[in-house]
């Protein structure tokens, strides 16, 4: 393959094809974790930000970005881990939210993030069941199958489900 | 490692002395979250119920994520070519700078909750202020971690209340845990000489100024839990200066075993 100097636009297109290993219906652009792409000659620098500090998917995502770009003959790739500004679910695309619900994960409910403000006895967020669409659900645990999800149960269809926490 | 260390905003023009102090402090924070994260991970597969097993594993993971950012920054501050792995796996117990609280054994669930609550109360309130540090990298790490610490503190606070205001059995276990662990809470806000220097330089928060909000939170939660706040307890210190209980050696024996046995081993 003949390597031609890639354009930033092309890199963004390729990144759209890289998915989250934990939630394979979401591209990393849907998730909002790609913060910038810089192309200088043949050198490509991609900055990504973790959803949570310890997210183990970050290494896999970095590898998949390299592999996708390598398949296009782009070999000089640097991937930076950018901490600030900290990731928020506000960066998740509308398409990403629809895909999440169709996949069986309730998308973040906007405006419910408490940020770092301590919400000790606050109400739990009302989350719609992604399966039967009932609003009668309850929080089982703030800590779910991955760092970014909480564990809910539907009071109508009784199914347990994951809720992608609103994080801002 | 697949992801390059954070693109550190240009290291402020610190004098060698301040840089050394900052290295020691960042290392202390990293050791603290590493050891507590390791302790919590010991619960994995042993939690009282699945949801709480998952909660502890999640909190451990958040702490280990914070640990990596801190060790990477410490390595950069030191500038001697050591990596995050070298700092975690190749230092002796006497070189570790975590406070005594976080190395205490898990005990029963009540002991783990008390240890976590005491740590979370400090961790959360400290991160809120550290987020405003003029040191850009410390501020960025805190900005990320404080959101997670808020979840941790909510979780441990709610469990303090359930155990304290629960059954006679849960209350008795909570009382026993407090009798053992409260004495380690004072070290968190007792600054070492290094911390005092960095506080004076305005780089890290003044712990005395954190106390009103911390004490108010403790009073609120203990009130809901119907548990009196312990008074007049002699506070144990020394961990932040490398004087540890024997527990730390056992933790490191497990944590460092692979690198000690097969130096340079990579996954």
Nearest residue of chain A to residue B66 (CA atoms): A53
- What's the whole-model pTM score? 0.91
Query: Any chain A CB within 8 A of the CB of B132?
Result: no
Q: Judge whether B255 is closer than 8 Å to chain A, CB to CB.
A: no
- pLDDT given at position B7: 47
- CB-CB under 8 Å, A117 with B150: yes
pLDDT per residue as tens digits for the range A14-31: 999 999 998 899 999 999
Q: Is the pLDDT of residue B242 over 60?
A: yes
User: What digits encode the pLDDT tens for the residues B30-41?
Assistant: 999 999 999 999
Report cis status (omega within 30 of 0) of the bond before B234: no
CA–CA separation, A60 and B3 (whole Å):
9
Mean of pLDDT values over B245-260: 96
Chain A, nearest residue to B121 by Cα? A118
HEC per residue, B65-92 = HHHHHHHHHHHHHHCCCCCHHHHHHCCC
Cα dihedral sign, B206-B207-B213-B216: negative
Kindly list the residues from chain A whose CB atom is less than 8 angstroms away from the CB atom of residue B65. 50, 52-55
Contact B144 A48 (CB under 8 A): no
Partners of A39 in the β-ladder = A44
Tell me how far apart the alpha carbons of residues A82 and B4 are, in angstroms, rounded to a whole number: 10
Read off the pLDDT of residues B213-239 as tens digits, 9 standing for 90 and up. 999 999 999 999 999 999 999 999 999
Nearest Cα to B144, choosing from B79, B53, B211, B72? B72
Q: Give the DSSP letter of residue A6.
A: P
Reported as a single tens digit per residue, the pLDDT across B121-173 is 999 999 999 999 999 999 999 999 999 999 999 999 999 999 999 999 999 99
What fold characterizes domain B16-261? Answer: Ferritin (1.20.1260)
C-alpha–C-alpha distance, residues B250 and B235, integer Å: 23
- Closest of A129, A90, A130 to residue A111, by C-alpha: A90
Mean of pLDDT values over B114-118: 98
How many residues in chain A?
A: 168
Closest to A83 (Cβ–Cβ): which among B69, B128, B220? B69
Chain A hits for B131, CB-CB cut-off 8 Å, are 116
CA distance A80 to chain B (A): 5
Distance from CA of B150 to the nearest CA of A (A): 6
**pLDDT tens column, A60-106:** 999 999 999 999 999 999 999 898 888 888 899 999 999 999 999 99
Pairwise CA distance, residues B96 & B208, whole Å:
24
Handedness of CA A123, B108, A149, B29 (dihedral sign): positive
Residue B83, both tokens: 């990596």
- Give chain A's domains with CATH numbers: 8-81 (3.30.300.130), 90-164 (no CATH)
pLDDT in tens, B173-196: 999 999 999 999 999 999 999 999
Are the Cβ atoms of A151 and B149 closer than 8 angstroms?
Answer: no
Which residue is associated with the tokens 């540090």? Answer: B133
3-class SS shares of chain B: helix, strand, coil, % to 5: 70, 0, 30
């Amino acid at each position: 393959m003949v390597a031609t100097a890639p354009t930033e636009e092309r890199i963004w297109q390729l990144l759209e094809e890289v998915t989250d290993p934990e939630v394979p219906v979401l591209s990393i652009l849907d998730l909002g974790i790609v913060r910038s792409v810089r192309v200088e000659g043949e050198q490509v620098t991609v900055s990504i930000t973790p959803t949570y500090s310890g997210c183990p998917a970050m290494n896999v995502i970095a590898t998949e970005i390299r592999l996708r770009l390598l398949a296009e003959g782009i070999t000089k790739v640097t991937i930076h881990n950018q901490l600030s500004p900290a990731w928020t679910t506000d960066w998740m695309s509308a398409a990403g939210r629809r895909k999440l619900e169709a996949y069986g994960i309730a998308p973040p409910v906007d405006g419910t993030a408490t940020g770092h403000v301590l919400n000790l006895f606050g109400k739990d967020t009302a989350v719609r069941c992604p399966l039967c669409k009932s609003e009668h659900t309850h929080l089982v645990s703030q800590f779910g199958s991955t760092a970014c999800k909480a564990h809910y149960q539907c009071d109508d269809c009784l199914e347990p489900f994951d809720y992608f926490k609103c994080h801002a | 490692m697949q992801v390059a260390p954070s693109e550190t905003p240009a290291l402020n023009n610190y004098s060698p002395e301040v840089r050394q102090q900052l290295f020691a402090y960042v290392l202390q924070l990293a050791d603290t979250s590493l050891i507590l994260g390791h302790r919590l991970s010991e619960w994995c597969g042993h939690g009282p119920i699945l949801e709480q097993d998952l909660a502890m594993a999640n909190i451990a993971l958040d702490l280990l994520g914070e640990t990596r950012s801190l060790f990477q920054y410490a390595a950069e501050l030191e500038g001697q070519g050591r990596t995050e792995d070298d700092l975690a796996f190749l230092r002796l117990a006497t070189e570790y700078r975590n406070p005594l609280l976080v190395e205490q054994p898990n005990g029963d669930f009540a002991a783990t909750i008390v240890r976590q609550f005491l740590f979370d109360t400090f961790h959360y309130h400290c991160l809120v202020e550290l987020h405003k540090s003029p040191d850009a990298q410390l501020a960025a790490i805190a900005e990320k971690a404080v959101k997670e610490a808020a979840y941790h503190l909510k979780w441990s606070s709610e469990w303090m209340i359930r155990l304290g205001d629960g059954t006679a059995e849960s209350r008795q276990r909570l009382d026993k845990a407090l009798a053992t662990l409260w004495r380690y809470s004072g070290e968190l806000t007792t600054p070492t000489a290094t911390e005092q220097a960095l506080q004076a330089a305005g780089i890290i928060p003044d712990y005395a100024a954190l106390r009103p909000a911390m004490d108010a939170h403790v009073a609120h939660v203990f009130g809901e839990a119907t548990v009196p706040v312990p008074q007049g307890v002699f506070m144990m210190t020394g961990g932040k200066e490398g004087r540890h209980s024997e527990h730390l050696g056992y933790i490191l024996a497990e944590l460092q075993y692979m690198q000690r046995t097969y130096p340079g081993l990579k996954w």
